[in-house]
Amino acid sequence: MSARPDVPVRTEGTAEAVERGPLPEKVRLRVNGTEHVIEIEPRVSLLQALRDDLHLSGAKRGCDQGACGACTVMVDGRRVLACLTLAIACEGQEITTVEGLAEPDGRAGWRLHPMQEEFIAHDAFQCGYCTPGQLVSAVACVQEGHASSDAEIKEWMSGNICRCAAYLNIRAAIRAARERV
């Protein structure tokens, strides 16, 4: 019996197995159009899988509590906070990170997404740490139809925090890109 009533007692397995935790499972993740099979524990966040297992470092680890938006990615076209989303829950869905916004241009190079071009043109970043999450969120904001006014953009982008306060430039970039997206 457990000394604390809120902690369940595990009776199966050895003490070593209990200490080790859940066993890794094979998980298929489709990220930026490419399928990956990785072995992870069921409790691994999408952010951890993207950064540590797939080496996609665009989504940033900010607060790890879902408050800053630095880890924003799209899952089946919907914005999600990768730090709060289990990787295993994304199996069979299309995950888009900031790395997946640009497209090959056929000349051994890459063509930036219109939102990326407008972020550059409008100087919509300063330190750049929040920029990947801002970009993914901005693309989703336009695709969702939530970019018709500054007030609407401000509301629908409110989950992404920028410590450098580049908000005016970010909104200007979204306005400029909304017709191109």
pLDDT in tens, 21-72: 788 999 999 999 999 999 999 999 999 999 999 999 999 999 999 999 999 9
Residues 1-33 have pLDDT tens digits of: 445 455 454 555 555 655 667 889 999 999 999
Q: Is 71 exposed, middle or buried (0-12, 13-18, 19+ CB in 10 A)?
A: buried
Domain borders along the chain are 23-100, 103-178
Does the pLDDT at position 74 exceed 80? yes
User: Partners of 62 in the beta sheet?
Assistant: none
| Phi, then psi, of 158 in degrees rounded to 5 | -65, -15
pLDDT value at residue 5: 53
pTM: 0.85
Question: What is the C-alpha to C-alpha distance for residues 40 and 25, in angstroms, rounded to an integer?
Answer: 5
Half-sphere exposure of 161 (CA within 13 A, CB side): 11
pLDDT value at residue 1: 47
**Homologous superfamily of 103-178:** [2Fe-2S]-binding domain (1.10.150.120)
Between 108 and 70, the higher pLDDT residue:
70
Residues 121-141 have pLDDT tens digits of: 999 988 999 999 999 999 999
Question: What is the C-alpha to C-alpha distance for residues 115 and 135, in angstroms, rounded to an integer?
Answer: 7
**Homologous superfamily of 23-100:** Beta-grasp domain (3.10.20.30)
